Amino acid sequence: MRLTRYEQETIINFNAGDQTATLYTRDPAIIRKIDALVIKYPDTYKCIGETDIDKTYEMPKSFVCYRKPRRLSEEQREAARKRLEKNLKNA
């Protein structure tokens, strides 16, 4: 079954009383990423349910992260552009 982009949702659920978070997703890209974590870190990430279109995982709540937006100065942006050009020439 092929899902639309809108139907490929991801829901993270946790509360203040638990130490674990539950992640439910229908997004194939996220499923691949979390499956890799399940394989590499089986004591930390667990697949607790799946169907043919979705998976549910459990992980420590402390692994859910919030970040402020990254802001680059013009100097940082120019330095990154030059590094990219150099790496592309050497590839």
Per-residue confidence in pLDDT tens, the chain, 91 aa: 788 888 899 999 999 999 999 999 999 999 999 999 999 999 999 999 999 999 999 999 999 999 999 899 999 999 999 999 999 988 7
CB 55 within 8 A of CB 85: no
Closest by CA to 34, choosing from 45, 48, 19, is 45
Q: What is the predicted pLDDT for the residue at 54?
A: 96
Q: What is the predicted pLDDT for the residue at 23?
A: 97
Instruction: Give the 3-state DSSP-derived string for 25-91, with helices as H, strands as E and coil as C.
Output: ECCHHHHHHHHHHHHHCCCCCEEEEECCCCEEEEEEHHHCCCCCCCCCCHHHHHHHHHHHHHHHHHC
Tell me how far apart the alpha carbons of residues 36 and 45 are, in angstroms, rounded to a whole number: 10
Q: What is the predicted pLDDT for the residue at 70?
A: 87
